[in-house]
Amino acid sequence: MKILVVGAGYVGLVTGACLSDVGMQVLVVDNNQQKIKDLQAGIMPIYEPGLEELVKRNVQQGRLSFSHSLHNQLSKVSVVFIAVGTPQDADGSADLKYVLQVADEIGQNLEDYLVVVTKSTVPVGAAQKVKAGISRQLQNRGLNIPFDVASNPEFLKEGDAIADFMSPDRIVIGTETEKAKNILEELYKPFLLNGFRIISMDIPSAELTKYAANAMLATRISFMNDMANLCELIGADIHQVRRGIGADPRIGNKFLYAGIGYGGACFPKDVQALMKTGLDNGHPLRILNAVEQINADQKMRLYHKLEEALEGMIAGKTIAVWGLSFKPQTDDMREAPSVVLIKALIAAGARVQAYDPVAMPVAAQVLPEAVVFSTDEYQALQEADALLLLTEWRMFRSPDWDRLKSLMRQPIVLDGRNIYNAEQLADKGIRYWGIGTTKQLTTTI
């Protein structure tokens, strides 16, 4: 099968690399010429574990290639995946301009029947807009070439993207013809050898499924953060509550961690876009309003704990930060809670010494210039008045506490991901604040 993927970002590049790895002929197109030049030279535009090796191998074996245009590239292609960005528009909705640009280009270049699949996260109705855009271009060319549209939302997780794509929990396919459904089922067969996990549905349901999934996950996070904040007031411990509720199979134990709020390229914008869909249809999604508000407050939670720890005096203090990306195993800084926190610290007159094993080059583009980037996690601790743990990279799980104490001006640890043990730190004479555990709050030297 010959496949074309438009968009060489987290989704498009992973999709292209994985499809080529199971033997398909794949061309990945991106209108960012520098990105394409880099990819052709073997330089990855993003950090994603395993991606570089996968791309290089398939390029070498002649199954994967890159281009900055899809002009004259549609001959003998069976499926085009649209995997370009759908950023948040000013009113909260998903901006479809890149998706519709691609639809126009497909219409201008279509030669024969193929299936045009939206893999980008798009609101209900987007596939029909893609269809209309392609048809308009075909009309301009005086042609009547048949084609199908389909929705195939992507559920991969950054940091684990290749494993998610290669061995998916489920593949959701929304189609309106049997022919398109059969082609996509054929395409995904190599990924389903361990069981049949394609869920076929109509296109609007597939489009909504992606938003509903992200909104549900964001809701779990905000719910747990809300519970954690209540725990602090009433003397309960969110770790114990999480274990207690997670044992119920109707609830399950995943995605129940309190912390500093969700970020990333997907949850914030997808929650907003779904809220806008609700409003536009006279059905405000009240639960998502609360999810959003809790998340916005949670991003500043650690800042308020720091104020408490430093008795209100943040100005002039040196604050060490471990972890910048919105989650481990990625350099993605989009909507990372670290950005909100660090900007607030700098605005309050603190000196910030940050370390992240992967995200510092990307972070340098979005954080205030005053942030000092360290060469390792211990350098960030030099003369620091407090440490904020913001991303739970594995390397931060078991630090050398004695070394930490010897380097810091005051041994204060604020754990935004609840990965440390309050008692252990108290034994070491380290003051500790977590999220949702009063026991930690009262620990003193």
Residues that bind ligand NAD (CB under 6 A): 6-12, 29-32, 35, 83-86, 98, 101-102, 120-121, 154, 156, 158, 265-266
Cβ closest to ligand NAD, residue 157 vs residue 428: 157
Cβ closest to ligand NAD, residue 133 vs residue 261: 133
Set 70, 266, 302, 352: catalytic member: 266
Nearest distance, CB of residue 237 and ligand NAD, angstroms: 32
* Collapsed DSSP state (helix, strand, coil) of residue 275: helix
Q: Which residues of 234-272 are buried (b: 16+ CB within 10 A; e: fewer)?
A: eebbbbebbeeeeeeeeeeeeebbbbbbbbbbbbbbbbb
Cβ closest to ligand NAD, residue 46 vs residue 412: 46
Name the DSSP class of 420.
Answer: S
Nearest distance, CB of residue 267 and ligand NAD, angstroms: 10
Kind and range of the H or E run holding 320: strand 318-322
Nearest distance, CB of residue 291 and ligand NAD, angstroms: 18
Cβ closest to ligand NAD, residue 115 vs residue 273: 273
Catalytic residue status for 231: no
User: What tokens appear for 178 in the block?
Assistant: 């049997």
Cβ closest to ligand NAD, residue 58 vs residue 152: 152
Nearest distance, CB of residue 11 and ligand NAD, angstroms: 4
Residue nearest to ligand NAD (CB): 9
User: Of the candidates 358, 387, 354, 356, which has an alpha carbon nearest to the alpha carbon of residue 370?
Assistant: 354
Contacts 24+ apart (CB under 8 A), 360-363: 360/324, 361/331, 362/325, 362/331, 362/332, 362/333, 363/324, 363/325, 363/333, 363/336, 363/338
Q: Which residues contact 73 (CB under 8 A, 6 or more apart)?
A: 4, 27, 29, 67, 109
CA 401, CA 394: separation in Å to the nearest integer?
Answer: 16
Nearest distance, CB of residue 330 and ligand NAD, angstroms: 8
Question: Which residues does the annotation mark as catalytic?
Answer: 266
